[in-house]
Structure 1
Amino acid sequence: MSGSLWTPPGAHADALPAIPRRRASPSWARPDPVDELATRLDDFIAAAVHPDEIAALLESDGLSDDRIRERYGVRDSFALAEELYERVERRHPEPDGPAHDPWRVGLLGCLLRGLVFALPGLGYVLGAPLLTGTLPLLAAALVGWTWNQGLAHRAYSWLGLGDRTAARRSLLLGAPVGVLLGALAAFAVAGPGQPTAVAFAAGQSCYLGAATVLLVLGRERALLAALLPMVAGAGFALVEPVPDTLRLVLLLCSMLTAAVLGLLEVAAAVRVPRGRGAVLNVRLPPRERDRPRRAGSRSTTMGRTLPASLPYALFGLATGVLVLHAALGNAPAGEATVALTLSMGPAEWLLYRFRSRSLAGLRSTSTARAFRRTTVRMAVECLAAYLAALLALGLATSALWPGAPGVSGVRLAGLLLLGVVLWTGLLLQSFGAVLGAAVICSAAALAQTLALVTHTGGTHWTGPIVHAAAALAQAVLVCVLLGRATAHR
């Protein structure tokens, strides 16, 4: 052979060697796009308790199922999340400083809110000699609870988006509408010779609207100050006769003071041009920044057609009916309503405590099963603490209430079961799962109302049975929903 290069048969010995063509890289040498994504999101994936957390992140980053199938070769975001979850080892690094906890609140503030919820009941004690019927009051109260619950949700939605001006504007427009609806409801059901009841119901609706404004904007102390004249008059009326004129003056004083304070709180929205509120510091598409979201998610079939505040209004109506049944079903049983109303303070604090501890559980558990077990245990502990507070309040009000019937096991069981319904419903509401709670509470309220209307609810076991069924249904819903790590983000 001449030369150092091998010459193929049939080629000239002096020909130059051919330049080799670039070969395609074998498939095994190409970088895996899933591995690249896992590397990019390594810290987040390593700290995830469940693949659903990763799926939520992928969806928030705008990865559609079509793009995921094209780029990563899996069917959807959940399949990709499971693949990423398997490829990255679990790590839960500790934060540099104390972890941020938006759910940490003081007990005193919550107790103050519970007191503010209960004190308006003394207005009925002060105004009892002026009333000629209770049906207009009940109708106006139910309409007010329904409307103001939905209005409060809408205002809180704006506050959550960082736009306090829009929240004030919604309260400024919505509260007068609620007052008008309450007055019209009272007028519609009032019989002849009940003008004072209609007037009292209109004042009650005005107070409910003003109280909603002040409570949503965090002005509980101002509302308490507005109630002081009425509270002082009611306390004096329990021991000494009070002239009717003075009763009316004290009631009007508290109602007008609350209305003026509420108006001053929302008046700032009139002076700020629309669209000049606070800058939104949230990751929302531009179209969604203009208004609170409508109800709807992967788990809500009524999503884009149902206003987000409607389930909250329905929940307010249903719980209001249940509380009225508890108050009227075993007359005289007003102490049950007082106990439930006062218990809303501890209930709110325990709800915040549960949310706070669930965030700590996300940081301290390493598996989905451990987190679910921790969450269920915390829910049981908080519910037990609330029922203990409700039991103590129920026994205390029954002992102090004039003419109250003796404490019986059936009445206490009905009160505690209704407490379970209310607390689990509020818990679901705080997680945005209000639609399920509204449906369950509405079914329970409808069952009790039908039993009353058809005269089949004469037994004192009707209420406890309905409450037990609703409590069981909501407890199951709580366990199913709150065991998911993504529900706590």
Structure 2
Amino acid sequence: MSGSVWLPPGARPDTLPVIPRRRTTPSWAAPDPIDELTDRLEDFIAAAVHPDEIAALLESDGMSDDRIRTTYGVKGSFALAEELYARVDRRHPEPEGPVHDPWRIGPLGCLVRGVVYALPGLAYVLLPTATLPLLAAALTGWTWNQGLSHRAYAWLGLGDRAAARRCLLVGAPAGALLGSLTALAVTGTSDPTALAFATGQSAYLGAATILLVTGRERHLLYALLPMAAGAALTPVLSLPGPVRHALLLGSLLAVVTSAVRPTEGGAAPDKRRPPRGHGRPRRTRTRRTAAGPPLLASLPYALFGLGSGVLVLHVALGSAPGAVALTLGMGAAEWLLHRFRSAGLAALRSTGTPAAFRRATALMVARCLTGYLAVLTALALATAALWPHSPDLAGPRLAGLLLLGVVVWTGLLLQSFGAIVSAALVSCAAALAQTLLLSTQAPAWTGPAVYGAAAAAQATLVCLLLGRATAHR
């Protein structure tokens, strides 16, 4: 049968036989670039809780969307991250040695800082004087020194410790001068005692900022001991005026002298822990110019210091024990902040899905905030019991104090994660609202209402921000 073609049984004449082919990649074909990238980043991809973490890594490596489209044939960094996330199974490789946790610290140092924050208030026991110029100078100092602290830490983040020293050496005296001029503008020369006290207070705030930024809080504690001893003896011995002045001046000179050494060429600031209300600075890309980090980057920190200071002063005007409790509780607040950051790193290693990570962080926020409020309540009740002629710290006063505690701690938490603008806006808005209500003699329940609104706003921001794994990297 010449010219005929053999067909398999059952095949029709109008079909061709199927020839099985072995699907192999030719030796001359280029390898898949996504496979190569997967092999290179496999350990990181396997430990990622969410594709956004991989996208952040790609962007930090300088991969633009145009380059990704050209090289990998996908739309952009997020699409490539999702592809990489899908190709690698989740696993968390255990490190060979101990896990590095920069947030793990002991509670003792933080508690010492809490005491350091509260001791300056004893100066008012030794020298009671006009309140308005002192408050004006204190608010100026809190605002200025909060921004100064951030700028010094920004220089340290750039690795330029000499510039950080110069920043503190110039900024601290400038802040002291600004606080003194503010007090002078408020009181004039009619009350020289109040003006001198405000000047000393401004000098103390500048020197204390240097010591706290450089991690020398113990030096600050020792320098304040004479003034604290005098304040404790005043109700018993009725110390004469010259002795009180000598104790105040001695502590001030000791603080200023201790602050001079860290700004000299032989001593460099260290970055062990940040000062109150500043949190550990988040590692971000700071654009370095000839003048250093941008000045405007420190403005939100200064505004946060202003807003928080006004809120604390409102508490002090209504209940001095409440303000003392807030100040003493800053040590516990700082330690719990570090605990949360440490728990966030642990959650990155122990959870494998975004939902599990959100649950872990939400639980840790609730635990830390509950612990802080418990400490604040105990301090407030103990201080009110020991304070002579103290108003009853119950009802609206205690509710307002606890709600303000939520505002303070969540604000510290937000700025620790770089969300300082949000924290500053909420605290300044609450401070402005509370000031306006105070000037109109509003009912007592309006204070807790303002604090409650601010606490709800910041708690919402915390949930939105900290539920993302990328915020903790």
Normalising by structure 2, what TM-score? 0.88
State the Cα deviation string for residues 234-276 of structure 1 (Å, max 9, x = none). 111121211111111111111111011101111127999xxxx
1:227 correspondence with 2:224: yes
More displaced 10-residue stretch of structure 1: 352-361 or 69-78: 69-78
Q: 2:136 aligns with which of 135, 139, 144?
A: 139
User: Equivalent residues in 2 for 1:258-273 (5 A)?
Assistant: 258-268=255-265
Unaligned runs of 5+ in 2: 1-24, 270-282
> Which residue in the other structure is 1:154 paired with?
151
C-alpha distance in 2 between matches for 1:286 and 1:126: 45
Tell me the amino acid that sits aligned with residue 95 of structure 2.
Answer: P
- The percentage of aligned residue pairs carrying the same residue is 66
- Report the count of equivalent residues: 436
> Which segment drifts farther, 400-409 or 474-483?
400-409
Residue 183 of structure 1 corresponds to which residue in structure 2?
180
Amino acid at match of 2:392: G
User: CA 1:322 to 1:160, structure 2 compared with 1: closer, same or farther past 3 Å?
Assistant: same
SS at match of 2:149: helix
Partner of residue 390 from structure 1, selected from 376, 395, 409: 376
Once structures 1 and 2 are overlaid, which stretch shifts more, 69-78 or 115-124?
Answer: 69-78
SS at match of 1:438: helix
Q: Tell me, yes or no, if the aligned pair for 2:180 and 2:202 is still in contact at 8 Å.
A: yes
| 3-state SS, counterpart of residue 232 of structure 2 | helix
Instruction: Give the conservation status (yes or no) of the 8 Å contact 1:326–1:463.
Output: no
SS at match of 2:236: coil
Given the alignment, which residue of 454, 457, 469 partners 1:470? 454
- Equivalent in the alignment of 1:249: 246
Equivalent AA in structure 2 for residue 376 of structure 1:
A
- SS class of match (2:127): helix
* Residue 78 (structure 1) aligns with: 78
Q: What is aligned with 2:305?
A: 316
Alpha-carbon displacement from aligned partner over 1:181-218 (angstroms, at most 9, x marks no partner): 10011011115521211111010000000000001111
Provide the C-alpha distance between the structure 2 equivalents of 1:345 and 1:284, rounded to a whole number of angstroms: 26
Shift of 1:289: 8.4
Q: 1:62 is aligned with what amino acid?
A: G
Residue 115 of structure 1 is matched in structure 2 by 115
Superposed CA deviations along residues 369-389 of structure 1, whole A, max 9, x for unmatched, are 100110010010000000000
Q: Does 1:449 align with 2:449?
A: no
1:169 is the counterpart of 2:166: yes
Say which is worse superposed, 150-159 or 477-486, in terms of deviation.
150-159
Q: SS where residue 75 of structure 2 aligns?
A: coil
| Mapped partners of 1:285, 1:270: distance in 2 | 27
Distance 1:271 1:362, change over 3 A: closer
* 2:278 counterpart residue number: none
Matched, 1:367 2:364: no
Aligned position for 1:431: 417
CA contact (8 A) 1:169 1:270 kept: no
Aligned partners of 2:299 and 2:407: how far apart in 1?
20
Mark the CA change 1:270 to 1:373 in structure 2 (over 3 Å): closer, same or farther. Answer: closer
Instruction: Give the Cα separation in 2 of the matches to 1:206 and 1:286.
Output: 30
2:302 and 2:255 map into 1 onto residues whose CA distance is 23
Q: Deviations over 1:368-425 (max 9, x none)?
A: 1100110010010000000000000000001001110123221111110000000000
User: What is the one-letter code of the residue matched to 2:328?
Assistant: L
Q: Deviations over 1:65-103 (max 9, x none)?
A: 221122122232122111211122212111112110100
Question: Is residue 408 of structure 1 aligned with residue 394 of structure 2?
Answer: yes
Please say if 1:357 is aligned against 2:343: yes
Amino acid at match of 2:339: R
Give the aligned residue type for 1:121.
G
Partner deviation per Cα, 1:114-170 (whole Å, 9 max, x = no partner): 000000000011111xx2x21110110000000101111111223334433322221
Return the offset for 1:30: 4.4
- Which of the numbers 197, 201, 206 marks the counterpart of 1:204? 201
Q: Is the 8 A contact 2:52 2:470 kept in 1?
A: yes
Amino acid at match of 1:418: L
Q: State the distance in 1 between where 2:64 and 2:186 align.
A: 53
Tell me which residue corresponds to 1:8: none
Q: Taking structure 1 as reference, are residues 126 and 319 closer, same or farther at Cα in structure 2, changes over 3 Å only?
A: same
Distance 1:424 1:323 in 2: 15
Q: 1:90 to 1:225 in 2, by over 3 A?
A: same
Query: Which residue in the other structure is 2:42 paired with?
Result: 42
In 2: Cα distance, 1:293 partner to 1:33 partner: 38
Q: Distance in 1 between matches of 2:51 and 2:230?
A: 59
Q: Which residue of 1 aligns with 2:7?
A: none
User: For the residues of structure 2 that align with 1:98 and 1:436, how far apart are their CA atoms?
Assistant: 35
285-294 or 197-206, which deviates more: 285-294
RMSD: 2.2
Cα offset, 1:29, TM superposition: 5.2
In 2: Cα distance, 1:316 partner to 1:475 partner: 19
Q: Check the 8 A contact 1:312/1:438 in 2, yes or no.
A: yes
SS of residue in 2 equivalent to 1:268: coil
User: Which amino acid in 2 is paired with 1:97?
Assistant: G
Matches of 2:291 and 2:315, distance apart in 1: 38
Distance 1:292 1:356, change over 3 A: farther
Of stretches 41-50 and 164-173 in structure 1, the one that deviates more from structure 2 is 164-173
Please state whether the residue corresponding to 1:307 is helix, strand or coil.
Answer: helix
